[in-house]
Structure formats: C-alpha cells, structure tokens
Structure 1
Amino acid sequence: MDVKPVNRKSIYEDIVHQIRSMIDRGELAPGDKLPPERKLAELFSVSRNTVREAIKALAEQNILESRQGAGTFVCEGEQESFLTTFAGAILRKQPGLADVFEVRKLLEPEIAALAARNASQDELTRMEGVLIEQEEAMREGKPAGRLDQRLHELLAQASRNEVMLAMVVALHDDLSESRVEALQSRERQEASLAAHRAIIDAVRLGHVMQAEKAMREHLEEVEQIVLAKHD
C-alpha cells in the first residue's frame, strides 16, 4: 500500500483520508481486505489505537466493515461502488482546471449552505480544529493544501449529501490546490485562512446565505490565482 506520513494532529483523520483516497482511486476495491491493524500501524507509523479509531470512523460511514475473526474489508454496498466509480472516472479523464472550478462553483456554495443547516457540534469542532492547524502551518511556513482539502471534505460531510461528498472527494483528491505554488505564499495563505474562517463562522451561526456567499467568493478568488498561474 502506498501511504504517506501523517500529521501529528488529527492523526486518525489523515488515515481516514488516505484510505478513502485509495478506495476512490481504485487501489482498494469493494470486498478487498485491509492488512491487519498491526501492519497498518507500522505503515502509518502510528499506534494500533489510532488505526482502530480510523477504522471505526470509516465503518460509521459504511465504507469499511469489520468482520469478527476475519478482518476489515471495504464495503460492497451501492454507496461505495458509486464513490469509487465516480471518483475514478473523474481522475482518469484528468479534466482541465477551468472545468474543475466551474463544477466547484456550482457545487460547493450549495454544500456550504447545507452545512449551515445541518452541521453538528462535533463537525463544527473538527472544522475549527482544521482552522487552528492551518494557522499553525502558516506560522511555520508549511504547505496547507491537505488541510484545505480536509476542511472542504468536512463541509461536504456536514451537508448530509453523500453524492456531494463523493464529488468533492473526487474533485479535490489529485487536483489539490496544494499543487499550485502560487497558493502557498504567506499572503495567499493568510487570505485562504480568512476566507475559511468566514465560511465556518457562517456555518456555525446557521447563516445559510452568508455561508453560500463566502464559499463562492473564496472559490472565485482561488480560481483567478490558479488559472492565471496556468495561462
């Protein structure tokens, strides 16, 4: 399994993200058995308790299934097949950035609006945690693309719409903003953090229209930077 080192904070969420990405790319197929907890702990360089926490989170999303005495398997339900097929189709086609942003501007403002209606306190706490990590990464001069991706996925989860979540995972996975050098300047990171704060503040307060507006403005700003870089 091709895994990457995980961040020290929110470790289990990084593992959750990596396993989901493997499924989305087709590296893990419905019905596949995961390595034992001990092996996963070695691969990710974390404790077995952390691995269990990640597996539990994925099981709650009906992505993994733990079978007593047999191990942990990728679920074979319709939701997982859709996630894998949809994400794989997008990544295989390698759409242009302009097309990706056009879809994101149609999709993600509505996701932010739904999140403002539906986000739980636990989901809001996770979002706030990502903002804290993003601020720390900025202070330390580290890239924050993975944190940006995680925040957008948390918003999609809070929308309570599994199709929207699948689309966000697919659009962000190998088309991450972290791959665009222009987005990693201190000025750009500060602007990104401010935009994310505005979105999460609106979600926390249940301000549906403001959450939608803040997300749209954020995407339009990022789009201008990214497309200018690739002209």
Structure 2
Amino acid sequence: MDVKPVSRKGMYGEIVLQIKAMIDRGELRPGDRLPPERRLAGMFAVSRNTVREAIKALAEQELVESRQGAGTFVRSADEARFAATLAGVILRARPSLRDVFEARKLIEPEIAALAARHASPGIIARIEAALDEQERAVRRGETGADHDQLLHGLLAEASGNTVFCEVVKALHEDFIRSRVQALQSQERREASLAAHRTIVEAVRNGHVMQAEKAMRDHLEEIEAIVFARDHRSGA
C-alpha cells in the first residue's frame, strides 16, 4: 500500500480518504485484507486509536468489514443489500438537484438540532476534526467536498437517529455531488467552511435552536450559489 503520513495525529478522516481512494483505483479489491492496526499506524504515522476510528468510519460507510479473529476486509459490492437500504431507494429515484436541496432543507436542520441535544464529547471531537480537515483542504485550494460529506455524516451520527444517517448518506452520494462539481468555486468553499464553523460551534455548546438555524442558513446560502451559477451558465 502506497500511503502518505497524515498531516496531524488524530486526523482519522485523512486515513479514510486515502483508503477510499485506493479502493476506487482498484489498489484494494473486494476481499482484500487490510494490514493489521499496528502496521497501519506505522504507515500513516498515527496512533492505533486513530486507525481504529478510521476503520470504524469505513465500516459505517460499508466499505470494509471487520471479522473477529481474521482482520478487516474490503467489502464486495452487494446489490441486493444496497437496494434494500433506504439510501438505495433514494438513489434509484435519481432525484433532481432541486429535489435534493428541498429534502436537505427539511431534514438537515433537524439533524443539527438533534446533534446539539444529543452529541457526546467523543462525536463532537470527531466533528471538529473533520472541520479542521476541511479547512486545511480549502487552504490548499481543494474543494474539500469529501470532508464536507464526512462532516454532515458525523452530524447525522451525532443526532442518534440511524434513519437520518441513511438519508444523509444518500443525499451526499458521489453521483449527486458530481452534478455540482463543476460549480465548485472559492466562494462556495469559503461559504461552506464558515457555515460549518457556526454549526459546529452551536452543536458543541448544545445550542439547539442556533444549530438548526445555522444549518438552514447554510443550505439556503449554498442553494442560492449553486442555482445562481446554474442560471448564469444557461444550463
């Protein structure tokens, strides 16, 4: 495995992104066993706890599975299992971008409110780490889209509602996000980053109404940017 040490210890999200990229490139194939935790920790120059967090996140995304006494393996595509999930139902419907935004504006403010009410110190630390990673990506001139997706997924996890986790996973899937990839700009990146800071602060402090409002304002702002650009492009 050709990996790069992560930029800061505790940044398990960077490990997640590197392993996902290796799966996408075919360097890791279904059924392949990941190296043991100790070896991964050395390869990425992080602690074993950080590696465990990364593996947990990959398992939650159904990319790997841990088998007792055997190790962690890349999962094979299981169309029957995927089609049975709520995410699969949503994706098969191939919603329009406007439909996606309308759904997100209904669902994600409530997710943020529940996260502010229920988030544990542990999940808050993971959310803050994802925000730090997004900021570093934006400062490097990258879109930060993967970190954006990770942060919204963690907020859903913090809400304590597994249905919301499935819905957010579907609404942030790659094929939907790719529709606006060409519309990414520094304006959108900075707006997303600033809004995420406000949301995370409200969740950290347990401010339910502020978290809900901050998420709604964020989605409305991004929606306005996306569709303003779409209109100007004549698409």
What per-residue deviation string (whole Å, max 9, x for no partner) do you get for residues 43-94 of structure 1? xx868967655335566899834232x554699xxxxx57962222322332
Displacement of 1:129 in angstroms is: 1.9
RMSD value, Cα: 4.1
2:167 — aligned with what?
167
1:106 aligned residue: 106
For normalisation by structure 1, the TM-score amounts to 0.72
Assess, with a 3 A threshold, how the Cα gap between structure 1 residues 34 and 131 changes in structure 2: closer, same or farther: same
Looking at structure 1, the residues matched to 126 and 147 of structure 2 have their Cα atoms a distance apart, in angstroms, of: 11
Write the distance in 2 (CA, Å) between the matches of 1:17 and 1:47: 15
Q: Is 1:214 the equivalent of 2:214?
A: yes
Please list every run of 5 or more consecutive structure 2 residues that lacks an aligned counterpart in the other structure: 21-29, 76-80
Matched, 1:35 2:32: yes
8 A contact 1:37–1:52 mirrored in 2: no
Contact kept in structure 1, 2:83 and 2:89, CA below 8 Å: no
Which stretch of structure 1 is more off in the superposition, 45-54 or 86-95?
45-54
- Mapping 1:182-221, distance limit 5 Å: 182-185=183-186, 187-221=187-221
Q: Within 5 Å, which residues of 2 pair with 1:8-23? A: 12-13=12-13, 16=16
Percent of pairs with identical residues: 53
Q: Deviations over 1:128-183 (max 9, x none)?
A: 22222222222222211111111111101100001001110111012227943333
SS in 1 for 2:184: helix
Measure how far apart 1:230 and its partner are.
Answer: 3.0
Structure 1 equivalent of residue 25 of structure 2: none
What is the 5 A alignment of 1:12-91?
Answer: 12-13=12-13, 16=16, 34-38=31-35, 54-56=54-56, 64-68=65-69, 70-72=70-72, 81=81, 85-91=85-91
Is the 1:34–1:71 Cα contact (8 Å) retained in structure 2?
no
User: For residues 18 and 87 of structure 2, what CA distance do their matches in structure 1 show?
Assistant: 14
What is the distance in 2 between the residues matched to 1:178 and 1:11? 28
Question: Are the counterparts in 2 of residues 111 and 156 from structure 1 also a CA contact under 8 Å?
Answer: yes
Give the distance between the partners of 1:54 and 1:206, measured in 2 at CA: 26
- In structure 2, give the amino acid aligned to 1:192: S
Structure 1 residues 123 and 87, CA gap change in structure 2 (3 angstroms): same
The change in CA–CA distance for 1:66 and 1:55 in structure 2 (over 3 A counts) is: farther
* C-alpha distance in structure 1 between counterparts of 2:179 and 2:4, whole Å: 16
TM-score between the two structures when normalised by the length of structure 2 = 0.71
Matched-pair contact (CA < 8 Å) for 2:156–2:168: yes
Counterpart in the other structure of 1:130: 130
